[in-house]
Amino acid sequence: MSSTAEAVKIVAPRPRGGIVQSVNDSLVVARRNLIRMTRIPEMILFGIIQPVMFVVLFTYVFGGSIAIPGAGVSAGAYKEFLMAGIFAQTVTFATAGAGAGIADDMHKGLIDRFRSLPMARGAVLTGRTLADLVQTAITLAVLAVVALLVGWRTHEGIGSVLAGFGLLLLLGYAFTWIGALIGLSVRTPEAATSGGLIWLFPLTFISNAFVPVNGMPTFLQHVAEWNPFSATVAAARELFGNTIPGVPQSVTGAWPMEHPVLASLIWSALIIVVFRTLAVRKYRRAA
């Protein structure tokens, strides 16, 4: 018995710290989801086709009819105004995919299997959101190439441009936690997809993404300029060098529009903290 006990002591792995275990478990789950994505390439393909269609349609259908303050009706000015909004819409629409994926895992009983394993409680959700972030980054890279092909240009250094894309991905990652909470709260992937999109449309369209805020009713101007989506769009435009000289950053004097980069960071961090906490709590109680 003593030799067996000694052998067990030798073979038993050394315990890992909570943070180390959580990181390792999250990376394992993320790898599992990335492998699944490569085996279902249409998931990535369809995720790319929709934003590309938005770029082409908005550029050539609305580009010659929407007046930009300080530039008038100009297809070239609208391209530079539009692209940050399209990029932001693309990363936030990943919310629906995250919610549907988690709801599908719940429906198939996979979440219950994960919960029975000795792994960090938040690792399943963190791994899923990290995998979605990788897919979003791929989509965003393809979309940037398409935007360049239709005439979009940046006017700042590479570091500033990369920082702009970094803020966009951070917003997308924050919104995937909202999708995770929705996926844990519904019964089917179809319901998660609908629940993930129904609130995104007013959020993205009541913003500065596609049309100037100054043309909206006064009460919507305030809503749009305090919209976290608008803050990231404005920050991306500033970092890309797509702002129009002489045009005020804010119509209503809203603080997020006067300091868009800082506001974008604050909004994204706040969304992650709040919705990650709620999602992990929901995961613990999910059946």
**Distance between CA atoms of residues 133 and 131, nearest Å:** 5
pLDDT at 175 over 90: yes
Q: Comparing 3-12, 85-94, 235-244, which segment has the lowest mean pLDDT?
A: 3-12
Please report, for the chain, how many H helices and E strands are present, in that order. 14, 2
Calculate mean pLDDT across residues 24-33: 85
Residue 7 lies in a domain: no
Which pTM does this prediction carry?
0.85
Q: Check residue 203 and give its pLDDT.
A: 92
Residue 8 lies in a domain: no
Q: Check residue 171 and give its pLDDT.
A: 96
Binning pLDDT at 50, 70 and 90, where does residue 5 land? very low
Residue 10 lies in a domain: no
Q: How confident is the model over 124-159, as pLDDT tens digits?
A: 888 889 999 998 999 999 999 999 998 899 999 999
Question: Which residue did the predictor score with more confidence, 247 or 71?
Answer: 247
pLDDT at 68 over 70: yes
Q: How confident is the model over 98-108, as pLDDT tens digits?
A: 888 888 877 77
pLDDT at 74 over 70: no
Domain that holds residue 198: 17-285
Residue 68 lies in a domain: yes
Q: Check residue 196 and give its pLDDT.
A: 78
Q: 106 Cβ partners below 8 Å, 6+ apart? A: 183, 184, 286
Name the burial class of residue 40, with classes exposed (0-12), middle (13-18) and buried (19+) by CB atoms within 10 angstroms of its CB.
exposed
Calculate mean pLDDT across residues 243-252: 78
Q: How confident is the model over 10-25, as pLDDT tens digits?
A: 443 444 446 787 888 8
Residue 45 lies in a domain: yes
Helix axes of 158-185 and 123-149: crossing angle, nearest 10 degrees: 130
Q: 33 Cβ partners below 8 Å, 6+ apart? A: 101, 127, 128, 131, 132
Question: Does an H or E element contain 56, and which?
Answer: helix 42-57
Q: Check residue 14 and give its pLDDT.
A: 41
Sign, Cα dihedral of 229, 231, 235, 237:
positive
Q: Check residue 71 and give its pLDDT.
A: 61
Question: Does an H or E element contain 218, and which?
Answer: helix 218-225
Q: Check residue 10 and give its pLDDT.
A: 41
Q: What type of residue sits at position 276?
A: R
Residue 11 lies in a domain: no
Residue 2 lies in a domain: no
Give the mean pLDDT of the chain.
84
pLDDT at 67 over 80: no
Number of domains in the chain: 1
Residue 5 lies in a domain: no
